[in-house]
Amino acid sequence: MTDTGQLRLEDALSVLTTGMASRLVRRLLREKELVEGISGYDLGLSRGRSAATLVAHLRPGVTESQFTDEVRAALNGLAADGPTDQELARAHAQLEREWLMELATADDRADALNFNETIMGSAELANSYLQRVTQVGAADVATSAARWLDPDRASVLVHRRPGTEESR
């Protein structure tokens, strides 16, 4: 959360994994039917360090390499070409909706103001969040994807249920 590229990374992950129109949901779930579902998160760790994750449940018979090849292509494509205008508008709308839901109660608003004051250095950052979201452009998202979502720097963790055919 302390990195200035945080909003750009949030947009990149949204373009890739948020909603049925996102790139990886459309490709892996709807077109190729490789996964039961997929989601993406940025863990927003402290001191300018973070970890972005993509979590998916592969359908039976799908290999890790089938999945990772598709993810690699999507990450490289976003880094090379950036999001379309429609994808970026959708990502911004989703972030706005999530932010407004996060501030729905007085307690949540107080938490957001407190976090921004104590961790980020200014409570005003909570009030300017939506303005900062709309300032992120397609080139910003592409740059962030190239820097933070490089598939050559990724790790893959596979969890298998004990006793299943795949775990043998």
Domains, the chain? 6-156 (3.30.830.10)
- Computed over every residue of the chain, the mean pLDDT equals 89
The per-residue pLDDT for 48 is 61
Instruction: Specify the higher pLDDT residue, 61 or 47.
Output: 61
38: part of which helix (H) or strand (E)?
strand 35-42
The rounded distance, in Å, linking the Cα atoms of 168 and 163 is 7
Give rounded-to-5 percent helix, strand, coil for the chain: 60, 10, 30
Between the alpha carbon of residue 11 and those of residues 60, 66, 92, 149, the distances in Å are 31, 25, 7, 12
| Stretch 50-54: mean pLDDT | 86
The residue with greater pLDDT, 50 or 105, is 105
- Residue 3 pLDDT > 60: no
Q: What is the pLDDT of residue 1?
A: 42
Distance CA 101, CA 115 (A): 17
Predicted confidence (pLDDT) at residue 102 exceeds the cutoff of 60: yes
- Checking if the pLDDT of 5 tops 70, the result is yes
Interval 150-155 mean pLDDT? 91
Share of the chain above pLDDT 90, in %: 66
pTM: 0.85
Question: pLDDT-derived band of residue 146, with 50, 70 and 90 as boundaries?
Answer: very high
Q: Which two tokens stand for residue 127?
A: 């009030």
> Rg of the chain over CA atoms, in angstroms?
17
Q: 42-51, 78-87, 106-115: which has the highest mean pLDDT?
A: 78-87
